[in-house]
Amino acid sequence: MPLAPDWLYGSNTIFAVLCAGFAIELIFGGLPGFRQLLGLPRTVAMQLAAWADRRLNRLKRSKRSRRARGALVAVFLVPLSAIVGLYGAELSRSVADGWIIEAVLIATCVGLQRPVFTAGALRRAMARKSVDQARAVLGRVVAYETDAVDEHALARGSVELFAVRLCDGLVGPAFWYLVAGLPGLFVYRAVTAMADELSYPTEKHAAFGAVAGALDRLMNLVPAPLSAVLIVLGTLFAPNGTAAGGRTRYVRWRRRWPVAARRLDARGHCGCARPVAVGPATA
């Protein structure tokens, strides 16, 4: 029995359609042209948020004013994305074989293909002791410089990248699609994109992005812990891994980052995945 009214869905076989959507993204998400097409909802949401940031977020205004203006961005984007999801669900229900349309729409709101293949490329580069190649691979997908990082930092960066994208690219979309159908899925994608664009602890964005960050934390209240649990359970199948040290502790919870399934101690060591994955076990 569905968890939400039937009219939210374009198909009655929601689990099969969800899996089809993930398969489409995984197979076609890295191809030129398809990458841009499947990333369209996120791209549009981020561009709208960036436009609002340029027009409404001025440092000369008070924090209260900037916080209110940032809230207006959320008030506009969230209902808009829900309406798009509703129209998508209605279209899927109104045509023959509409589940195909719905699966494609799902594929536009998930994003696990790039981090999966990036993590694989990093693992292969590190297995060949090609640190320079690993730095180049990681540098293409993270915001910080990787020219001087060592192999342990590269491994930690790979684990962090996958932990982040596991939540907002797999667990979060699946959770909100199963709970609220395509409208919930599109709202989740818009909120995460808005938070990525606006929610930063800087003087300019701390107030303007406060509502975006709060909505992002709210929508990941369930997906983020689930992602952390999956990461900890995954260590049972990793070489030299143990779940005993993988206590869930969120070290970066400003947005939806369940990175602390990797319980870092004061020296930066990881208790969840042993040295082969993230760094030395002794100082």
Mean pLDDT score, 108-116: 83
Confirm whether 266 is domain-assigned. Answer: no
3-class SS shares of the chain: helix, strand, coil, % to 5: 65, 0, 30
Q: What gap in Å lies between CA 217 and CA 39, rounded to an integer? A: 22
Kindly provide the b/e burial profile for residues 187-196, where b requires at least 16 CB atoms within 10 angstroms of the residue's own CB: bbbbbbbbbb
Confirm whether 105 is domain-assigned. Answer: yes
Residue 104: is its pLDDT beyond 50?
yes
For the ranges 2-6, 34-38, 81-85, 132-136, the one whose mean pLDDT is highest? 81-85
Residue 283: is its pLDDT beyond 50?
no
Confirm whether 39 is domain-assigned. Answer: yes
Confirm whether 138 is domain-assigned. Answer: yes
DSSP 95-153: STTHHHHHHHHHHTT---HHHHHHHHHHHHHHHTT-HHHHHHHHHTTSSS--TT--HHH
Instruction: Check if the beta carbon of residue 24 is closer than 8 Å to that of residue 99.
Output: no
Confirm whether 278 is domain-assigned. Answer: no
Confirm whether 239 is domain-assigned. Answer: no
Q: What gap in Å lies between CA 236 and CA 243, rounded to an integer? A: 6
Confirm whether 23 is domain-assigned. Answer: yes
pLDDT in tens, 243-276: 544 444 443 443 444 544 443 333 333 334 433 3
Q: What gap in Å lies between CA 109 and CA 174, rounded to an integer? A: 10
| CA-closest candidate to residue 171, choices 112, 213, 100, 255 | 112
Instruction: Check if the beta carbon of residue 141 is closer than 8 Å to that of residue 195.
Output: no
Residue at 245: amino acid letter = G
Element (H, E) at 156: helix 151-166
Domain of residue 150, residue span: 6-224
pLDDT in tens, 33-55: 888 888 899 999 999 999 999 99
What is the 8-class DSSP label of residue 201? S
For residue 139, the model assigns a pLDDT of 77
For residue 21, the model assigns a pLDDT of 92
Confirm whether 14 is domain-assigned. Answer: yes
Mean pLDDT score, 185-203: 92
Residue at 137: amino acid letter = V
Instruction: Check if the beta carbon of residue 53 is closer than 8 Å to that of residue 207.
Output: no
For residue 86, the model assigns a pLDDT of 92
Residue at 281: amino acid letter = A
pLDDT in tens, 8-17: 555 567 888 8
For the ranges 11-20, 103-112, 125-134, 151-160, the one whose mean pLDDT is highest? 103-112
Q: Domain tally for the chain?
A: 1
Average pLDDT, the chain: 78
For residue 102, the model assigns a pLDDT of 92
